Homo-oligomer: A and B are copies of this chain.
C-alpha cells in the first residue's frame, strides 16, 4: 500500500499488461493470461504482487476468482505526483480538459 510497493509493482511490463486487461472489466486468471507469454504460476505471482500493492481486488466465485482494478489503488501514485505538480508538463491542459469531460 505504500509508494515503493506500488511503483515496484508498476515497474514490470507484464504486471502493467495485467492491469491493462482489467481496464475493460473483471477477468479471471486464465483470461488475464491470454496475451501474456508466461506460465500460469507466473501470472499468479504477478497477481499476488499487484494485490499486495493494493492495485487489484479479487472476488471468489466457486473455483474461479474474478479480479478487478482496485479503485483506490492508484492513490499513492496520485499523491506522489501531486507533490511534483510544478514539474508537470504542458499536459496539464489536457488533464484539465479531461476533468471537465468527466463532469458531464
Contact = CB atoms under 8 A, between A and B. Distances in A.
The A interface is mostly helix, strand or loop, or mixed, namely: helix
Given A8-B11, A11-B7, A81 B78 contact: yes
B99 A96 contact: yes
Interface in A59-104: 69-75, 77-89, 91-92, 94-96, 98-99, 102
A21 to B, nearest CB: 12
A91 B78 contact: yes
Nearest to A93: B99
B98 A75 contact: no
Nearest to A85: B98
A13 B98 CA distance: 31
Interface string A2-39: 01100110111100100110010000000000000000
A11 to B, nearest CB: 4
A98 B84 CA distance: 12
